[in-house]
């Protein structure tokens, strides 16, 4: 089981807004929009609150009926995508 990063910080060059059941992210540096679904939006909220992926995962496990291994895998995918887009900084 691959551990999640120790900490995540959200880029200061990013605006985000919740719109209904999704979150829209605007990268001010490259003027690109991104969107997150309901679960991605909840994960984003938890990252914004404390930046701790393990704590976020534990919270999501209480809120959603999901297997821990599946959630961990999905979180790795999302974290990698956000990092590659330079929307977050990851501290291993």
Residue 31 included in any domain: no
Residue 64 included in any domain: yes
Give pLDDT tens digits for 23-71: 899 999 999 999 999 999 999 999 999 999 999 999 999 999 999 999 9
pTM of the entire structure? 0.90
Q: How many domains does the chain have?
A: 1
Residue 45 included in any domain: yes
Residue 62 included in any domain: yes
Residue 50 included in any domain: yes
Residue 78 included in any domain: yes
Structural domain boundaries enclosing 50:
38-91
Would you say the C-alpha torsion 60, 15, 21, 37 has a positive or negative sign?
Answer: negative
Residue 32 included in any domain: no
């Amino acid at each position: 089981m691959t551990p999640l990063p120790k900490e995540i910080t959200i880029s200061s060059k990013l605006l985000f807004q919740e719109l209904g059941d999704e979150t829209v992210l605007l990268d001010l540096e490259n003027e690109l929009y991104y969107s997150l679904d309901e679960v991605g939006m909840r994960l984003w909220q938890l990252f914004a609150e404390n930046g701790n992926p393990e704590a976020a995962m534990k919270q999501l496990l209480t809120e959603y009926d999901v297997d821990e291994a599946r959630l961990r895998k999905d979180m790795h995918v999302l974290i990698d995508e956000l990092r590659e887009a330079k929307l977050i900084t990851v501290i291993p």
